[in-house]
Chains A and B, each alone.
Chain A
Amino acid sequence: AQKITQTQPGMFVQEKEAVTLDCTYDTSDQSYGLFWYKQPSSGEMIFLIYQGSYDEQNATEGRYSLNFQKARKSANLVISASQLGDSAMYFCAMRETGRRALTFGSGTRLQVQP
Chain B
Amino acid sequence: DGGITQSPKYLFRKEGQNVTLSCEQNLNHDAMYWYRQDPGQGLRLIYYSQIVNDFQKGDIAEGYSVSREKKESFPLTVTSAQKNPTAFYLCASSIRTSGRKDTQYFGPGTRLTVL
B64 near A: Cβ within 8 Å? no
Q: How many residues of A contact B (CB 8 A)?
A: 27
Q: Do residues A44 and B100 form an inter-chain contact, with CB atoms below 8 A?
A: no
CA gap between A103 and B44 in the complex, in Å: 7
Chain A positions within 8 Å of B44 at CB level: 104
The total of interchain contacts (Cβ-Cβ below 8 angstroms) comes to 66
Q: In which size bucket is the chain B interface?
A: 20 to 34
B104 interface residue, CB < 8 Å from A? yes
Does A31 belong to the interface (CB within 8 Å)? yes
User: Taking A52-B99, A105-B42, A106-B41 as contacts, is the C-beta distance between A45 and B92 under 8 angstroms?
Assistant: yes
- Tell me the chain B residues, 84-115 only, with Cβ under 8 Å from chain A: 88, 90, 92, 94, 96, 99-109, 111
Among candidates B42, B96, B101, B106, residue contacting A50 with C-beta atoms closer than 8 Å: B101
- Does B42 contact A106, Cβ atoms closer than 8 Å? yes
State in angstroms the CA–CA spacing of A102 and B94 once bound together.
11
**A101 x B33 contact (CB < 8 A):** yes
Contact partners of B31 in chain A: CB under 8 A: 100
CB distance from B48 to the nearest CB of A (A): 5
| A interface residues (Cβ-Cβ under 8 A, vs B) | 4, 31-33, 35, 37, 42-47, 50, 52-54, 91, 93, 95, 100-107
Q: A43-B88, A107-B41 are in contact. List 5 more A-B contacts (CB 8 A).
A: A50-B101, A50-B103, A52-B99, A100-B50, A100-B96
